Amino acid sequence: FLRGRAALVTGATSGIGLAIARALGAAGARVAVNGLGSDAQVAAALAAVRDAGAPEARHFGADLADAAVVETMMQDLADWGPLDVLVNCAGVQHTAPIGEMPAATWDKLIAINLSAAFHTMRLAMPGMAARGFGRVVNIASVHGLVASVNKSPYVASKFGLVGLSKVAALEAAGAGSRASGGVTVNCVCPGWVETPLIEPQIAARAAAHGGDRDAGVRALLAEKQPSGRMSLPEDIAATVVFLCRPEAHNLTGAAIPVDGGWTSQ
Ligand code: NAD
């Protein structure tokens, strides 16, 4: 159902973003893969997206911490093909109590996790509205809905992303029609997902259990995620694909938890 459509997935060289890029490619979209990484990592990501079925996959390597670089990437993308699907997935984490959080870390986290999404949205959404179809999916987190200790810039960035998405959903709500598909903006809010992002947190818990990684994972889950199961990146990608479907034209402004019950407590 995405054949003939073009998608940008930020942070698609690893983890959840890569799984989303593959799933959108499998649904027929041409995929612009943004994200950092070695040449080998980028090549592997592009190959995986093509293998999944994408008619085209191309790397746009912008460092999203820099607004001017994001703007240049979006200009390059306008030439590559008007964007129908925008998934803001790039994100970073740093854990420390607020008094020990370096100010530069705050600025960088807000820039990558929140401001970059604002910039891609402000540059992509007018075209979506003009064409009557668009899907913006922002990968927030349970930490866009509830807080945890030691994550001040991360939680602030994700609450901000949820708020930004609701504003954009309202502004886009009248664009297009049922026939054209409309323009929707939503957040997906995962709990724990098995990716490199959370390895330092797993390692810290494992250290408290004599270096046993499985015990560390169980301890993390037991604390917050009632299902006791990690999500896989593919599980999050499946929700994103659903949001891109024509039938989801009235599903907008939502922040959808995929968290094993975390935020129901
Ligand atoms: P990951 O570390 O596997 O991937 C992060 C991606 O972001 C990589 O492709 C990386 O290159 C990219 N990236 C980082 N800094 C960048 C920059 N300055 N410019 C461009 N790209 C940059 O992490 P992940 O777990 O797949 O996380 C993806 C998103 O999901 C993040 O926004 C994260 O906050 C969110 N999330 C993850 C979890 C989890 O448990 N893993 C839970 C909730 C939300």
Q: Which atom belonging to ligand 1 lies closest to the Cα atom of 113?
A: 32
pLDDT of residue 81: 86
Segment-wise mean pLDDT, segments of 10 residues, the chain, 265 residues: 98 98 98 98 98 98 97 94 96 97 98 98 98 98 98 98 99 97 98 94 93 94 97 98 98 98 98
Q: Is the CB of 252 under 6 A from ligand 1?
A: no
Q: Is residue 207 part of a domain?
A: no
Tell me if 240 is assigned to some domain: yes
Long-range CB contact pairs, 174-180, < 8 A, 24+: 175/128, 175/129, 175/132, 175/134, 176/129, 176/131, 176/132, 176/133, 176/134, 177/132, 178/249, 180/131, 180/132, 180/133
Residue 108 counted as domain residue: yes
- Residue 11 near ligand 1, beta carbon < 6 Å: yes
Does 37 map to a domain?
A: yes
Pocket residue to mutate for ligand 1, from 9, 13, 14, 151, most atoms within 8 A of Cβ: 14
Q: Which atom of ligand 1 is nearest to the CA of 230?
A: 40
pTM: 0.98
pLDDT of res. 79: 87
How many distinct structural domains can be found in the chain? 1
Instruction: Write out the residue range of the structural domain in which residue 127 sits.
Output: 6-191+231-257
Does 55 fall in a domain? yes
Q: Is residue 221 part of a domain?
A: no
How close is the Cα of 130 to the center of ligand 1, in Å? 30
Residue 132 lies in a domain: yes
Q: State yes or no: ipTM above 0.90.
A: yes
Q: Report if residue 225 sits inside a domain.
A: no
Question: Which residue shows structure tokens 């054209």?
Answer: 180
Pocket of ligand 1 contains residue 35 by CB under 6 Å: yes
- CATH number of domain containing 19: 3.40.50.720
18 C-alpha to center of ligand 1: Å? 10
